[in-house]
Amino acid sequence: MIVSIPALNEEDTVCEVIRAIPRTIPGVDVIDVIVIDDGCSDNTAKVACEAGAHVIRHATTRGVGAAFQSALRVAIEQGTDVLVTIDADGQFDPNDIPKLAAPILSGDADFSTASRFVDPKLTPRMPWIKLWGNRQMSRLVSRLTRSRFYDVSCGMRCYGRRAMANLNPMGDFTYTQEVFLNLAFKRMRIVEVPIAVRGERTSGESRVANNLWRYGMNTTRIILRAYRDYQPLRFFGGLALLLAVPAALLAGFLLIYYLRTGGFSPYKWTGFAAGTLAILSLVFLHMGILGDMLNRHRLYLEELLADGRMGRGRKKLPLNDLDEDSTDE
């Protein structure tokens, strides 16, 4: 098992998190702790090393999504069977890791995530706007995947080897919602584990959600891109339908007017508008069909990549002070 901790200037709390991570878990032979130093300007790396963690450094701050990609890359290269992610700010209790990992270790799930909202009694105290935003994100992802999820933004998660092999996240800013879409579309078994979480940091501010409008815009863009890539026919087909409906209404209005009056004036513009919308609708439908064809090739290539990752044996790599670029596949 690898426990990964993304960190950006978390010297005040990262040591406490590292030392609280259980060193023995039933069903796990080895537990390695790595800290992804995402361009820290304080002593996070030094403190993490002193606490017994391996440190992977990013030369510049790239985002929590990029930090997860580095952790995933190392876990795959190591051939580990389980990857756990937990934040460095102390909001999660590392003693909950065995509970989170249990569905993976028992073979009942490919991916498990700590859920702050699946049990209403465990809902943490947080600003109402953040609570509302988390629920809206969960509703959006649930609607897109046609499943029911309660918390798609929590950073404490556990990935089995099959889930890791099938993950190909692209977003640097964040990754949490994209992972749900990626794994749900590939029919991975996903479990939400109710865990009590502190809703507010003990020090500093969130590096991801410190600006809620920016966070909302970036995460929505990442979600829509993932949906576009994995469900192109539904994505572009929906846009085509949105244009086709007003085109049909305008064309129908103009036809009825012509049948009643024998002319088009003064509503000729509705004909041009209907034609333009109809052409755009056909363009989007064509894009959806082409995207669906390309997506089949993409899924085939991702299956080959996943098979290759699953077939890798365990090999120990030097983790201490490992630069992120040296772990690229």
Q: Given the DSSP bridges, would you call strands 190-194 and 2-7 parallel, antiparallel or unpaired?
A: unpaired
Give the strand order in the sheet containing 2-7: 190-194, 111-115, 157-160, 82-85, 2-7, 32-38, 54-58, 322-323
Any long-range contacts for 116-119 (C-beta under 8 Å, 24+ apart)? 116/151, 116/154, 116/195, 116/197, 116/199, 117/150, 117/151, 118/150, 118/151, 118/192, 118/194, 119/194
Which residue ranges in the chain fall short of pLDDT 50?
320-321, 325-329
User: Residue 114: what pLDDT?
Assistant: 95
User: Residue 72: what pLDDT?
Assistant: 94
User: Residue 105: what pLDDT?
Assistant: 95
What digits encode the pLDDT tens for the residues 198-233?
766 555 555 555 566 777 788 888 888 888 888 999
User: Residue 286: what pLDDT?
Assistant: 96
User: Residue 199: what pLDDT?
Assistant: 60
Phi, psi dihedrals of residue 55, rounded to the nearest 5°? -120, 130
Half-sphere exposure of 28 (CA within 13 A, CB side): 24
User: Residue 127: what pLDDT?
Assistant: 83
Any long-range contacts for 130-138 (C-beta under 8 Å, 24+ apart)? 130/199, 130/209, 130/212, 133/212, 133/215, 133/216, 137/177, 137/219, 137/223
Domain 2-230: assigned CATH number: 3.90.550.10
Q: Where are the domains of the chain?
A: 2-230, 232-308
User: Residue 260: what pLDDT?
Assistant: 92
End-to-end CA distance of the chain: 20
User: Residue 48: what pLDDT?
Assistant: 94
Instruction: Give the contacts of 196 (CB within 8 A, at least 6 positions apart).
Output: 93, 96, 122, 124
